Amino acid sequence: MNQSQQSSDGRHEDDTSLTEFLASLMDYTPTIPDELVEHYLAKSGFQCPDLRLIRLVAVATQKFVAEVATDALRQCQARQASVVKDKRDKQQKEKRLTLTMEDLSKALREHGVNVKHQEYFADNPSTGMDPASRDE
C-alpha cells in the first residue's frame, strides 16, 4: 500500500468512528439538559438545530465540570492534610472535607479560568442582618 491509500483508509475509519459516536449521542441523556445548553449557545450567538451537536457540547461541559471538581477536591485534601500535619494532633483530623472558594479558584486556574471574588469579612454571623431579625 502506498502513503495515499493508507491515509485514505485512516480517514475513512475516523469518519466512521465519528459517525458512530454522533449517532450514539442521540441515545444518551446528558447530565446538563439540552435546553440549558441551547440557551447558553444562543446567548453566545450560536444557533444549531442539530441535537447531536448540542449533546456533544453538553458532554464536553460535563467532562470539564467533573475535571474541575476533581481538581478542587485534590486541592482541598492537600490543604486539609497540611493543616493536620501542622497541628501534629491526629485527633483533630476531621473526616469531612470543606471545599473553599480558594480550592475552586486554584482548580479553575489550572484549566485557564481566572476567578476574582470579593473578600467577605464579618464580625459574627448576624452582621449585615436586619436588627429586628437577629436572635441574640
Q: What is the DSSP string of 21-74?
A: HHHHHTT---SS-HHHHHHHHHHTT-----HHHHHHHHHHHHHHHHHHHHHHHH
Smallest Cα–Cα separation from 12: which of 20, 24, 23? Answer: 20
pLDDT of residue 81: 80
pLDDT, tens only, 68-108 = 999 999 998 888 887 666 555 555 555 788 888 888 999 99
pLDDT, tens only, 3-21 = 545 555 667 788 888 888 8
For residue 43 the three cell numbers come to 446567548
Smallest Cα–Cα separation from 111: which of 46, 65, 75, 79? Answer: 65
Contact 34, 51 (CB under 8 A): yes
Angle (nearest 5°) at CA 112 between 109 and 115: 50
Residue type, 115: V
pLDDT, tens only, 40-75 = 999 999 998 888 899 999 999 999 999 999 999 999
- The DSSP call for residue 114 is -
**Highest mean predicted confidence (pLDDT) among 53-57, 90-94, 122-126, 128-132:** 53-57
d(CA 23, CA 27): 8
d(CA 106, CA 115): 9
Residue type, 11: R
